[in-house]
Amino acid sequence: CYSTAGVSDAGEPGMQSAVERLFSSILVALSGPQYLHCAFGLLDGNSTFSMLQAVIDDAHYKMLRMFLQDVDINDNSIEQATGQIRQTVDTQQKLFINFIRPLMRRGKLSRPYPFEGKEGKDQVIELAYRELQNMLNKPESHLSDEVVSQIMKNVPGILPVLDSRK
């Protein structure tokens, strides 16, 4: 099964692209395809690439990977979960927040969102743009000529025009 995820009809990074991309990414990934094509950085029906959207997508896909991790179920985890249920049922509020809050703080429930604004202010685009500038200001690194030579020699079908040594 080959599936595409993270698609959006939005023409620029923003709320529409985030919602469309996240919903399609989560649902498609959780459906269990064997091969998952991510529309990484693509907007406007996959016809436009945006570096800013790619930075935002990177944060989203790192969070999504947590949903796809294997669940660690063993006798100890089952005993711990049933103990938490018993404790919670015995409280007036019947909320699991006392057990969830420490997991959230350690990043075990989900990764902290790197573009979260201060005091509830929406700063996603601003903070993602700042991260993009940091990435673009890093020195470039390239594969050594030796590595490129090995790739060109051992991987059939690579077009000679892609040889960076020329």
Q: Considering the entire predicted model, what is its pTM?
A: 0.68
Give residue 71's pLDDT band: very low, low, confident or very high (50, 70, 90): confident
Residue 104: enclosing H or E segment and its boundaries? helix 97-105
Please give the single-letter amino acid code of residue 100: I
pLDDT digits (tens, 9 = 90+) for 76-121: 888 888 888 888 888 777 676 777 777 777 777 677 788 888 887 8
139 pLDDT above the threshold of 80: yes
Greater confidence (109 vs 44) lies with: 44
Q: Which of the 8 DSSP states describes residue 93?
A: S
Do residues 37 and 1 touch, judged by C-beta distance below 8 A? no
Collect all residues with Cβ–Cβ distance below 8 Å to 45 and sequence separation of at least 6.
Answer: 7, 8, 9
Span 1-24, average pLDDT:
89
Q: What percent of the chain has pLDDT over 90?
A: 28
Residue 48: enclosing H or E segment and its boundaries? strand 48-49
The Cα–Cα gap between 16 and 43 comes to 11
User: What's the chain's average pLDDT?
Assistant: 86
Residue 50 pLDDT: 95
